[in-house]
Amino acid sequence: MHRFCSRLAGVVLWLLFPLEGFAVGAGDTAPDFELPAMGNELPMSLADFTGRVVYLDFWASWCGPCRKSLPLYEEMKGEFPEDRFEIVAINLDEDRYDAVRFLEKHPVSYTILLDPAGTTASQWQIQAMPSSFLLDGDGQIIKAWAGFTSSHLEEIQNEIRSSLH
Amino acid sequence: MARLSDAVRSLLASSLGLPGMQELLAQEPPEDSFEYRYTHYDEAPLPLDKLALGDPRRYEIGSHQFRILKNLDDSYSLELNYLHEAMSGSSPWYVVPGDDGPLQVMSGATIRERRNQVDLSIARRKNDFTNNGAIGYSTENDYQALYGSYSGEKKSEDGLQTMSWGVSYSGDQISPTDALIFDRVSHAHRDSISGSLALTQTLSRNAVIQSGVSLVRQKGFLSDPYKQVWIDRAVLNDSRPDRRLMFAWTTRFRQYMERSRAALVLDYRFFHDDWKISAHTLNVAWRQPLADHWEIAPSIRYYSQNSPDFYKPFFFVLPADGQWSSDYRLATFGALSYRLNATFRHERWSLSFGGEYYNSAESLAISGTPENTPALVDFWRVTAGFEVNF
Amino acid sequence: MRFARPSTSARVFVVVLCVSCTACAPVQPWERGRLAQPQMALEADALLSAMDQHVYTSKEAASGGVGPSGGGCGCN
């Protein structure tokens, strides 16, 4: 009973005084990773994308906004030059079959990396699903987004455009 | 009929009717959707050895439910609900002493009625807060109810807890049919105010629990104008207190089972009011996904209540406090219901079918004084519905 | 400070809480896939739940736990 009371008190305090999450954000150096790519299984790291602006998205098939965003990113990709801009989507499904099934219905042409254990998500201190980051060609984070709504899309496009100049 | 106004919708938006986990997790509101459901409800006829007089064929109800959800933008969404139901059947009227136990007098006429109910609610999501306001109206030939509610919820920063709350008000007008002929009250009013509070906690990657309390205060005409009570060879109108304070504590638990991918559902509600009725409700379900698109969910629900002091099938002595009722729904009884639901889910739409068999009996009650109530009801229910997302 | 002896229901509640909280470690945002499955929803089907409440409240003395209900469903 005492443990329950303290737990309840903790919850109430937690709700009244929310602590700020500390995700990796704008201005930080992007933590490196090495993850297998879907399809060829070849490991890829940030080094494979040096020189290009990268839109990095952490997603999973069970997350509603993630499902909405992926096809929209595919459309967005076509607006920017391929040699200067790349989209990389890191999938966090525990069971890759869930991701495969989703992508069969909504195929995308950009790179999908697999992080089923969530180690990279942990390193990047992801606070919400989905979470996305815009990286410049030198591995620095320009901007970060938590969650996805359709109004984010325009902002993302603007940021990509200005980073390419 | 002891009809109470339907503020379910208004309070479903608050604590104990929280949106599902998907909505709690999503940064965005649920998708635009249209849903329809048809339910057919059929009560077993009163056994002839319990019948004193009247038509033993009991209630049969067909209900149509419609729901539209529309997101206006990233923050606001609108929800519209409409219910139409048609009911017919004879109903318990009063109970008389018989040689082998109490016998039920049923109303002779088969009542045929229709009811329409509509409600509109607006939700606003901002950061971790959601606020919801709703109004609704229900009408049938002898009963109108108007209700409104406010509810809200706040997610914690890490999304693992959600606190929710709500208040609602309902005002009902009752104008029983054939009031003069049967010496019923010709016009009556009742209202109720309620409040609720709940907490949802993610326990682990596989489990979540929600617990909440609610308090409802009713005032006005709370008796059933269509029911009477046999008291010492006279038959008097059902007469209940004009106030009622109700408390309920509900806990819902969900556990994901890794090997089967199923969810174990455990819900428990404790109810108590100032009429000294206590009730326990336990619902256990197993929601099993099958193949890629199906889900089968068998469940069992157990319910038990004890009667208030003013309930008896009939009285030989007139109660001094002026309160008496023979409504079987106030009796001491327990009920077991067995249900099965099947759902087929596709990306943009889903279909579901379900059935239930409900059986009530005094022997199933865990406490209270059995009075050999003759009209405890059993019923069947079948339902089918679909949902389309845009 | 003394706490009153907890009732049976309170004890059951705490046991359930602790038994299912296997790791009792915070759940990361990307670890919520199972909780997001439709079978894990607190309310599986809004219309079905509303109808359930409506039916049971019309036939039983306890109200839905969420307030007055019954909606004139006669249901005698």
Q: Is A150 on the interface with B (CB under 8 A)?
A: yes
Task: Read off the amino acid at residue B164.
Answer: S
The pLDDT score that the predictor gives to residue B177 is 85
Q: How far is B23 from chain A (nearest CA, A)?
A: 9
The pLDDT score that the predictor gives to residue A67 is 92
Sequential DSSP letters for A109-126: SSEEEE-TT-HHHHHTT-
Contact of C50 with B63, CB cutoff 8 Å? no
Residue of B nearest to A66 (CA): B26
Mean pLDDT of chain B: 90
Report the pLDDT averaged over residues B293-311. Answer: 97
Closest C-alpha to B225, from B5, B2, B4: B2
Contact (CB<8Å) C29/A127: yes
Residues near C18 by beta carbon (within 8 Å), at least 6 away in sequence? C24
Among C29, C44, C65, the residue with its CB nearest the CB of B269 is C65
Q: Using 50, 70 and 90 to split pLDDT, how confident is the model at B115?
A: very high
The reply to whether CATH 2.40.160.40 applies to domain B8-389 is yes
pLDDT tens sequence across A97-116:
999 999 999 999 999 999 99
Per-residue pLDDT for B43 more than 90? yes
Contact (CB<8Å) B28/A149: yes
**Residues of chain C contacting residue A63, judged by C-beta atoms under 8 Å apart:** 36
Per-residue pLDDT for B14 more than 60? no
CATH of residue A63 = 3.40.30.10
Residue B253's H or E segment, with its range, is: strand B243-257
Q: Using 50, 70 and 90 to split pLDDT, how confident is the model at A39?
A: confident
Q: Using 50, 70 and 90 to split pLDDT, how confident is the model at A89?
A: very high
CA dihedral of residues B172, B173, B178, B183 (deg, nearest 10): 90
Q: Is C19 on the interface with B (CB under 8 A)?
A: no
Contact (CB<8Å) A149/B22: no
Stronger pLDDT, C26 or A115, i.e. the higher one: A115
In angstroms, rounded to a whole number, what is the distance separating the alpha carbons of residues A14 and B313? 53
**Which conformational region is residue B162 in: left (phi greater than 0), alpha (psi within -120 to 50 degrees), or beta?**
beta
In angstroms, rounded to a whole number, what is the distance separating the alpha carbons of residues B374 and B96? 10
pLDDT tens sequence across A146-159:
989 888 899 999 99
- Write b or e for each residue in B150-159: b if 16 or more Cβ atoms lie within 10 A of its Cβ, otherwise e: bbbbbbbbbb
Contact of B94 with B227, CB cutoff 8 Å? yes
**Residues of chain A contacting residue B22, judged by C-beta atoms under 8 Å apart:** 64
Residue B376 half-sphere exposure toward CB, CA atoms < 13 A = 23
Among B25, B31, B161, the residue with its CB nearest the CB of A63 is B25
Contact (CB<8Å) A149/B154: no
Residue A161's H or E segment, with its range, is: helix A150-163
Q: Does some domain include residue A90?
A: yes
pLDDT tens sequence across B51-89:
999 999 999 999 999 999 999 988 999 999 999 999 999
The pLDDT score that the predictor gives to residue C26 is 84
Helices (H), B268-338: none
Task: Read off the amino acid at residue B39.
Answer: T
End-to-end alpha carbon distance in chain A: 61
Mean pLDDT of chain A: 87
Q: Does some domain include residue A124?
A: yes
The pLDDT score that the predictor gives to residue C76 is 40
The pLDDT score that the predictor gives to residue B200 is 95
In angstroms, rounded to a whole number, what is the distance separating the alpha carbons of residues C14 and C3? 15
Eight-class DSSP state of B97: -
Q: Is A121 on the interface with C (CB under 8 A)?
A: yes
Q: Return residues 24-53 of C near B (CB < 8 Å).
A: 24, 26-27, 29, 31-32, 34-51, 53
End-to-end alpha carbon distance in chain B: 41
Per-residue pLDDT for A35 more than 90? yes
**Residues of chain B contacting residue C29, judged by C-beta atoms under 8 Å apart:** 159
| Domain count across chain A | 1
The dihedral through the CA atoms of B221, B223, B225, B231 has a sign that is negative
Contact (CB<8Å) A118/C10: no
Please state, as a whole number, how many other Cβ atoms lie within 10 Å of the Cβ of residue B247: 15
In angstroms, rounded to a whole number, what is the distance separating the alpha carbons of residues B12 and C49? 9
Q: Which of A99-113, B173-187, C31-45 has the lowest mean pLDDT?
A: B173-187
In chain B, where are the structural domains located?
8-389
Among B26, B163, B292, the residue with its CB nearest the CB of A65 is B26
Token pair for C62: 């306890």
pLDDT tens sequence across B316-334:
999 999 999 999 999 999 9
The pLDDT score that the predictor gives to residue B3 is 32
Q: Using 50, 70 and 90 to split pLDDT, how confident is the model at A24?
A: confident
Determine the 3-state secondary structure of B136 from DSSP. Answer: strand
Contact (CB<8Å) A1/C10: yes
B111-126 vs B76-89, strand pairing mode = antiparallel
The pLDDT score that the predictor gives to residue C67 is 31
Please state, as a whole number, how many other Cβ atoms lie within 10 Å of the Cβ of residue A100: 15
Q: Does some domain include residue A12?
A: no
Contact (CB<8Å) B216/C67: yes
Closest C-alpha to B147, from C72, C52, A41: C72
End-to-end alpha carbon distance in chain C: 52
What is the percent of chain B with per-residue pLDDT over 90, rounded to a whole number?
A: 81
Please state, as a whole number, how many other Cβ atoms lie within 10 Å of the Cβ of residue B189: 11
Interface test with C, best of A2, A4, A22 (most C CBs within 10 A): A4
Q: Does some domain include residue A6?
A: no
Residue C35 half-sphere exposure toward CB, CA atoms < 13 A = 26
Stronger pLDDT, B27 or A37, i.e. the higher one: A37
pTM of the predicted protein model: 0.86
In angstroms, rounded to a whole number, what is the distance separating the alpha carbons of residues B216 and C69? 11
Contact (CB<8Å) C30/A1: no
Report the pLDDT averaged over residues B149-156. Answer: 94
The pLDDT score that the predictor gives to residue C10 is 62
Contact (CB<8Å) A65/B22: no
Token pair for A18: 């929310």
Q: Is C15 on the interface with B (CB under 8 A)?
A: no
pLDDT tens sequence across C39-68:
999 988 999 999 999 999 999 999 855 433
pLDDT tens sequence across B219-271:
999 999 999 999 999 999 999 999 999 999 999 999 999 999 999 999 999 99
Q: Is C14 on the interface with A (CB under 8 A)?
A: yes
Contact (CB<8Å) C59/B329: yes
Q: Does some domain include residue A2?
A: no
Per-residue pLDDT for B1 more than 60? no
Token pair for B271: 């109810």
In angstroms, rounded to a whole number, what is the distance separating the alpha carbons of residues C52 and B12? 12
Report the pLDDT averaged over residues A135-163. Answer: 90
Q: Is A5 on the interface with B (CB under 8 A)?
A: no
Eight-class DSSP state of A137: T
In angstroms, rounded to a whole number, what is the distance separating the alpha carbons of residues B56 and A33? 74
Range of the domain at A126: 21-163
Residue of B nearest to A127 (CA): B158
Q: Does some domain include residue A105?
A: yes
